[in-house]
Each structure stands twice: as structure tokens, then as C-alpha cells.
């Protein structure tokens, strides 16, 4: 059995999920959400966080990529995707770090988090 669960219709989304999967605990689910008309592409990440209190806590992180950035990413040759991968990873790491900082400061850690990626992604 694979440690992570990928439910992505588009192989490009699964590739993005695999780039960041090691930032999350095993059994994390990466789900490509079909965008509604005019909506941005979304990679939904469902995981159980053990480090935000005594009890396990379910958290949903939505990685939203602007339509323009996604179109540019898709138009790039695969050999140029490394920069986009690095940006994705940095933003997700920063979001997780922000959650950890909120917890350390005694603040309530939100159950839903959104990471918006635009021109910096592609």
C-alpha cells in the first residue's frame, strides 16, 4: 500500500502532489478538484496533523493556482517545471510553518487553509 493517496485525474496535478508529499504525514490525501466554470485549478490536501495539540486534527489545505499561471505552466516544456516545483514547495512549507507558529503562540489553528499561487508559480 502506498503511503500517500493520490486522486488526480490530470497527471500534472499528481506530479505537483508528489513534489510536496514528503512535507505531510503518511496517509495524506491529494485530490484534484474539478474547477467550476471560471474557477482556478485546486489541489486539495487532506491530512491529520498530530503536532497541533494533544488530539489529532484534520486539516484541509487548498492549493489554488491562477488560471493564467496554470496555462503558462502547462505550456512549458517539462524540463522547465523545476522552478514551479520550488515555488509550490516553498509556499506550502511556509503555510505549514505559519500553522505551527499559530499553534506555538496559543492561537487556534484553522482547519482550512488556502495557498494562492499566481505569477510566481509560472
| pLDDT one-digit tens code per residue, 76-109 | 999 999 999 999 999 999 999 999 999 999 998 9
Contacts of 78 (CB under 8 A, 6+ apart): none
Cα dist from 113 to 11, 58, 71, 77, 116, whole Å? 24, 11, 24, 30, 10
Q: Indicate the average pLDDT of the chain.
A: 92
C-alpha cell at 111: 482547519
* Among candidate residues 92, 93, 69, the one with its CA nearest the CA of residue 81: 69
* pLDDT band of 1, cuts 50, 70, 90: low
For 48, the enclosing helix (H) or strand (E) is: strand 42-49
* pLDDT over 90 (residue 2): no
Q: What share of the chain has pLDDT > 90, as a percent? A: 79
pLDDT (average), residues 56-73: 93
pTM equals: 0.91
Amino acid at each position: 500500500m502506498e503511503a500517500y493517496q493520490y486522486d488526480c485525474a490530470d497527471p500534472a496535478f499528481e506530479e505537483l502532489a508528489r513534489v510536496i508529499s514528503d512535507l505531510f504525514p503518511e496517509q495524506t490525501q491529494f485530490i484534484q478538484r474539478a474547477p467550476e466554470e471560471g474557477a482556478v485549478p485546486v489541489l486539495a490536501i487532506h491530512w491529520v496533523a498530530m503536532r497541533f495539540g494533544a488530539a489529532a486534527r484534520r486539516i484541509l489545505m487548498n492549493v489554488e493556482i491562477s488560471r493564467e499561471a496554470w496555462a503558462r505552466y502547462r505550456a512549458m516544456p517539462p524540463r522547465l517545471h523545476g522552478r514551479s516545483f520550488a515555488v509550490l514547495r516553498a509556499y506550502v512549507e511556509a503555510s505549514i510553518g505559519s500553522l505551527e507558529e499559530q499553534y506555538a503562540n496559543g492561537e487556534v489553528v484553522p482547519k482550512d487553509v488556502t495557498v494562492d499561487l499566481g505569477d510566481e508559480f509560472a
